[in-house]
Structure 1
Amino acid sequence: MDTSIVGVGVGITDRFRTVVEEKSARIENIAPRAEKLDVKVTHRAYHNGRMEDSTVELTLTGKGLPVVRAEAVDGDKFTSLDLAVDKLCEQIRRAKEKRVDARNHPRKAHFAKGTGELAGIDVQPASVDTLEAVATGAVPVIADDEEAEYTPVVIRTKSFEAEWMSVEDAVDRMELVGHDFFLFIDARTDHPSVVYRRKGWDYGVIALATLAQPAAALVS
């Protein structure tokens, strides 16, 4: 498995490269079909250098495999690496267990025409309050009596190609990238949708009424 390491605001030492190679062997052991591991280390300093942290982002790719991502933040980049590798391995392990469970207990999601309920998968439609909050852009405000120390907000923007898939596949992809939500186009309805984590092992799904169009149709 090839390994690529990139540092942003920090140099990559030979010692760090050696540790990454050792960790990549562990990842390759549980994901033998993986072909490349991208490691991005970002160092940030706040308040004139009085606060520092290192973020390690891991991206695992392979032919015929979904992308697996994990991220961790700590004051020490070696600790961040350990945490990120643990997350990545746990996501791969959980994905394997779900595939085994799917083979032993086949599931097929379907909607009840009369009630509109989603059955066959542990996904629940979003509540009315959630839908209204998304539609209106309402954000809860938390008051604090004590004046909080100023912390700069880092906003990261990412763009991805739209993918058509089932709700069940979207849940699996969300687990692999380690996020609390996953954006996709519902292949059943062609509606832009998002699945998200609820309490326990439950998931929720929010769909927009607007139909999505393939990229080829938009260009033409």
Structure 2
Amino acid sequence: MQFSIRGQQIEVTEALKDYVDKKLSRLDKYFDAPLTSEGNVTLSVVRGLHTVEVTIPLPGVVLRAEDRSEDMYASIDGVVDKLERQIRKHKTKLNRKFRQDGSLKMMFVEDGAAVGPVPVDQDEDEFKVVRTKRFIMKPMNVQEAILQMNMVGHNFFVFTNIDSQDVNVVYKRDDGKYGLIERD
């Protein structure tokens, strides 16, 4: 898998690039076929904290993890560990669900377009949209949408409901349960 590595308030040296590539190549063992999508890695430093964000769009799934520490190399190690835990956790859950259709490995490499959330950062004082993302919404049921939301680590997920063909939103409630927003 190829990764687009960029830095914010930090110069990305060849040593950092090599370290990121070496560590993220550990994820290859979880897939039957080589991954063809391009992942995004953002390295940044804010107030002494070194942050690493990794987004890997896969067919039907988006893997995303973030880690912060006082050392860039420790943050890289931490984000790879989080991605591995995420893959193992959701592979087990989805394998149970799709047992008759094949394993999650097969679903990752054979399905169509990538799906993901629409992260929008807002400045609370000005309500200014500083980032917009577009994505293809694969039709899915509510349970699949909840799994996707948990997989990317967000508290909401926008999807096309396979039953109604409407755009719906699932969200995590404060009590730990889930909610569904449908169009009237």
Common fold, TM-score beyond 0.5? yes
Structure 2: how far apart are the matches of 1:169 and 1:176?
10
Superposition map of 1:166-177 within 5 A: 166-177=141-152
What are the ranges of 5 or more consecutive residues in structure 2 without an aligned counterpart?
Answer: 102-127
Bigger mean CA deviation after superposition, 12-21 or 187-196: 187-196
Give the Å deviation of 1:207.
0.9
The residue number in structure 1 matching 2:12 is 12
- Percent of aligned pairs sharing the same letter: 28
Residues 75-130 of structure 1 show CA distances to partners (whole Å, capped at 9, x for unaligned) of 32222212211111111111210122114599xxxxxxxxxxxxxxxxxxxxxxxx
Which letter maps to 2:49? D
Give the Å deviation of 1:170.
0.7
Question: Does the 8 Å contact 2:173/2:179 carry over to 1?
Answer: no
SS of alignment partner, residue 94 of structure 1:
helix
Match of 2:180 among 188, 193, 206: 206
Match of 1:41 among 43, 55, 58: 43
Q: TM-score, normalised by structure 1?
A: 0.59
SS of alignment partner, residue 80 of structure 1:
helix
Question: Does the 8 Å contact 1:31/1:92 carry over to 2?
Answer: no
Bigger mean CA deviation after superposition, 155-164 or 79-88: 155-164
Superposition map of 1:1-220 within 5 A: 1-33=1-33, 34-35=35-36, 36-44=38-46, 51-62=47-58, 64-103=59-98, 157-161=131-135, 163=137, 164-197=139-172, 203-210=177-184
What are the ranges of 5 or more consecutive residues in structure 1 without an aligned counterpart?
Answer: 45-50, 107-153, 211-220
* CA 41–205 in structure 1, closer or farther in 2 if over 3 Å, else same: same
Structure 2: how far apart are the matches of 1:65 and 1:206?
20
Considering only CA atoms, is the larger Rg found in Structure 1 or Structure 2? 1
SS of alignment partner, residue 67 of structure 1:
strand
SS of alignment partner, residue 24 of structure 2:
helix
Question: Does the 8 Å contact 2:61/2:148 carry over to 1?
Answer: yes
Which letter maps to 2:39? L
Q: TM-score, normalised by structure 2?
A: 0.69
Give the Å deviation of 1:204.
0.7
* CA 162–37 in structure 1, closer or farther in 2 if over 3 Å, else same: closer
Structure 1: how far apart are the matches of 2:64 and 2:27?
12
Structure 2: how far apart are the matches of 1:157 and 1:4?
18
Question: Does the 8 Å contact 2:168/2:182 carry over to 1?
Answer: yes
Question: Does the 8 Å contact 2:63/2:151 carry over to 1?
Answer: yes
